[in-house]
Amino acid sequence: EAQVTQNPRYLITVTGKKLTVTCSQNMNHEYMSWYRQDPGLGLRQIYYSMNVEVTDKGDVPEGYKVSRKEKRNFPLILESPSPNQTSLYFCASSSTSGGIGKQFFGPGTRLTVL
Amino acid sequence: AQRVTQPEKLLSVFKGAPVELKCNYSYSGSPELFWYVQYSRQRLQLLLRHISRESIKGFTADLNKGETSFHLKKPFAQEEDSAMYYCALSGGGANNLFFGTGTRLTVIP
């Protein structure tokens, strides 16, 4: 089944403890992206990647890192999480042919930073 | 700068009534507009895109460049339409998809 997977789905951690949220897609998509969803603010893009080893900042990149060593994987790294990073995170992917607007989303990761 | 505005956070309509979810945008070039939907306990998914000019689940949306709007419409709302709806914009050739803040639609039986 073509899909985007994220792990973990739920995570509670403490301030300053490094964590990684994994994202994987099996559709051979070039484009991958991370968003955070907060009440009243909608979805805001954190980072995106046009292809392997090509990443760029979105609207709210501060406090996050990403890497794209393989086409299928796009992990989101929080080196030193803070409470304001408590949010619902979504990974998405799309083919770049025809534009990146048709994105396939993962199930979301709910992160709580205490 | 790109901006997508969905003025209604919440919208309630009765089953069988027409529904319109508003979306306005600002973008200096030629935008691509999309509607995404998130049903309860399901993933966010693409509902429709303006370049396809299609009707999905009875929903349509017309891009009005003069009014910079891309409102989502359905003539007769169904209970299964209850969901969160997001309008999104991509600038032609751009690498970003900008989302509005979303409208939660509730269809009352």
Mean pLDDT score of chain B:
91
A8: contact with B, CB 8 A cutoff: no
Query: How many residues would you count in chain B?
Result: 109
Inter-chain residue contact A101 with B34, CB threshold 8 Å:
yes
Q: Which residues of B touch A (CB under 8 A)?
A: 6, 9, 32, 34, 43-46, 49, 86, 88, 90, 92-102
pLDDT at residue A8, as a whole number = 97
Strands (E), A1-114: 4-7, 10-13, 19-25, 31-38, 42-51, 54-57, 65-66, 76-78, 87-94, 104-105, 109-113
Residue of A30, A88, A100 to mutate for B, most B C-beta atoms under 10 A: A100
Q: How far is Cα A113 from Cα A88, in angstroms, rounded to an integer?
A: 12
> Among the listed ranges A51-55, B11-15, B28-32, B89-93, which one has the minimum average pLDDT value?
B89-93
Q: How far is Cα B77 from Cα B7, in angstroms, rounded to an integer?
A: 20
Q: How far is Cα A91 from Cα B99, in angstroms, rounded to an integer?
A: 14
Instruction: Map tokens 């429709």 to a residue.
Output: B48
- CA-wise closest residue to B99 among B79, B109, B85: B85
Kindly list the residues from chain A whose CB atom is less than 8 angstroms away from the CB atom of residue B103: none
pLDDT at residue B70, as a whole number = 95
Tens-digit pLDDT profile for residues A64-84: 999 999 999 999 999 999 999
At A12, give phi and psi (nearest 5°): -115, 130
Q: CA distances (Å), B85 to each of A41, A45, A50, A71, in order?
A: 13, 17, 26, 30
B77 SS3 class: coil
Q: Which of residues A5 and B29 earns the better pLDDT score?
A: A5
Q: Is the pLDDT confidence value at A34 over 90?
A: yes
Residue of B10, B36, B43 to mutate for A, most A C-beta atoms under 10 A: B43
Tens-digit pLDDT profile for residues A83-110: 999 999 999 999 887 778 889 999 999 9
- Indicate the pLDDT class of residue B92, thresholds 50, 70 and 90: low
pLDDT at residue B77, as a whole number = 97
